[in-house]
Structure 1
């Protein structure tokens, strides 16, 4: 994965820590590996809190799955039939927030694109290397389903566009980070690291040092750099290296540009770091998508979301990073930063 948790106690002498002080649980949820680390608490308290987090992840995964039977698929069936559908208060709140965030980025973050995601074969745990029929693809691009087509009134949701099909894959991991942080704090856990397939949030510290995470290059085996992550900060990543297939020498990823209906090809990976704030997890998850899809306009798109710390690897492997994030990074592995931007 592009951004992975690194304990770094032995491989890189940055923390001087003892692994015996780290408690860990992991699982496979949201189609990826998730990991919760707790520092310093007694084992029973740590295990209880981490178990509560993983149970919450299971709940969210089941409730809002994009293609297995769930509250979300029931809503999508109603939307396809032009019907109003009752939804839970939680889902209504999530959709209203996603709608707000989609508008900021001119719908480049677009959870209404579920039909396009499915058309490319990514609504499956295993996908085949084939392109969709051009006529079906063009019909969906012309229909232009977006979050602006969605209406939310109290506990009811409906759409003017029957091609709206919701997929919260670019929102739910960030939401889960925020939920995990709330659960851990309620359980009395002050120092923890939560990793959902490269979407990471830190609580407190790891002993005498901040938590350390590594930014892995999407094409090289070694990290680009290591950076310190402080209490309440969250990192989101989007890349073309996890869910993708290759056909005729071209890589097709699940990151689809709603303007073309095609998987984006101008960027290999993006990382954004969000400082402590309400909804930091959600913002880190969401903002990485439009920044990825914006191509050479990535910096301006990041600024729309209030993100000052971001890194992009373009299609040719060139690395650009904002000045604020560069100041936090400790380069590793001889991989050079090609450009620093304000």
Structure 2
């Protein structure tokens, strides 16, 4: 278990960082988000090599798993797996296997086949799939259509229309890979984040890392700041990628596989009315040992809603949750309520 100090509400996002020469920092745009890296190294001459190794790993994963890169392995799978069995890399087989594990354990709330419909949305242009297309494709949104032989690294889709997207797990996986690289260089204190997924290695040289949970409706504020060390945290929210449609409805990127639509979070939200559906969530943060697990769990809890989502986390050893509902109220799993 990871040590958690008392929560501090509505505070600053991160500590400003030490000016000590042995702290090294970098920020780069990779995987469609900002990658932030901070680490302590005793030998400054190795800092550049360490930094390059970490960022190169993010680029490698992006090149392999991006659905937007025509030559990525994921794009090849989406073109070919619906036509017949394809051979995939051991890495992709492992990630899909982990995804299927969370699909089973969440009753389908986590489902990488959401991309069958989700790929038709363009959040930059404010475009979404029409109702008839969504209804026609919905039967192809089902993780049970994925036939994976993990041992032989063979994969096929039982419905030729099915597509997959690893956006709900790849960044968590990538921050774990970054930490593994840092450890291979002998680094013991570091923070690495990719969008809403972060992994902390050790503490901040005698004090905790301060990780902020953004206020879901005011990006200049935080809902909470959590002092943490040696853990992972993943946050999913309806504010990360979204647009407002012609009906004044928030259309965001976290899909409910059961409907083929973005998970509904609108009730009582934009106008601040109380009494919204109390189960609907607009932000979910999961704490646990690895991003490979906290990332899919944050998506799962978001889709499941407050009651079922928190119940899921209570069943899992080593994980905690902080959720914010559509009325902007914050709730915690039992391990954080003190």
Q: What is the TM-score of this pair, normalised by structure 2?
A: 0.85
Report SS of the residue matched to 1:37. strand
Q: Which residue is 1:57 aligned to?
A: 58
Give the CA deviation at 1:285.
0.6
Matched, 1:189 2:187: yes
| Distance in 2 separating the partners of 1:306 and 1:166 | 29
| Distance in 2 separating the partners of 1:259 and 1:148 | 13
What whole-Å deviation, never above 9, does each CA across 1:290-321 have from its counterpart, x for those lacking one? 10011232211323554642111111212112
Matched, 1:312 2:323: yes
- Between 52-61 and 308-317, report the one with greater CA deviation: 308-317
Matched, 1:6 2:20: no
- Between 64-73 and 146-155, report the one with greater CA deviation: 146-155
What 5-or-longer segments of structure 1 have no aligned partner? 10-16, 328-342
Q: Which residue is 1:133 aligned to?
A: 130
| Distance in 2 separating the partners of 1:205 and 1:243 | 31
| Distance in 1 separating the partners of 2:61 and 2:215 | 30
Q: Which residue is 1:284 aligned to?
A: 294
**Cα distance change, pair 305–259 in 1 and its aligned pair in 2 (3 A):** farther
What 5-or-longer segments of structure 2 have no aligned partner? 1-10, 266-279
Matched, 1:250 2:249: yes
- Between 38-47 and 291-300, report the one with greater CA deviation: 38-47
Q: What is the TM-score of this pair, normalised by structure 1?
A: 0.84
- Between 155-164 and 254-263, report the one with greater CA deviation: 155-164
Q: Does structure 2 conserve the Cα–Cα contact (< 8 Å) formed by 1:111 and 1:168? A: yes
Report SS of the residue matched to 1:164. coil
**Cα distance change, pair 326–37 in 1 and its aligned pair in 2 (3 A):** farther
**Cα distance change, pair 293–168 in 1 and its aligned pair in 2 (3 A):** same
What whole-Å deviation, never above 9, does each CA across 1:210-264 have from its counterpart, x for those lacking one? 2221122111322122212212x10011001111111132111000111111111
Cα RMSD, aligned residues only: 2.1
Matched, 1:149 2:145: yes
| Distance in 2 separating the partners of 1:4 and 1:30 | 26
Give the CA deviation at 1:46.
2.5
Alignment size in residue pairs? 308
- Between 284-293 and 203-212, report the one with greater CA deviation: 203-212
| Distance in 2 separating the partners of 1:273 and 1:121 | 30
Q: Does structure 1 conserve the Cα–Cα contact (< 8 Å) formed by 2:28 and 2:34? A: yes
| Distance in 2 separating the partners of 1:283 and 1:131 | 29
Report SS of the residue matched to 2:167. helix
| Distance in 2 separating the partners of 1:101 and 1:305 | 12
Matched, 1:272 2:286: yes
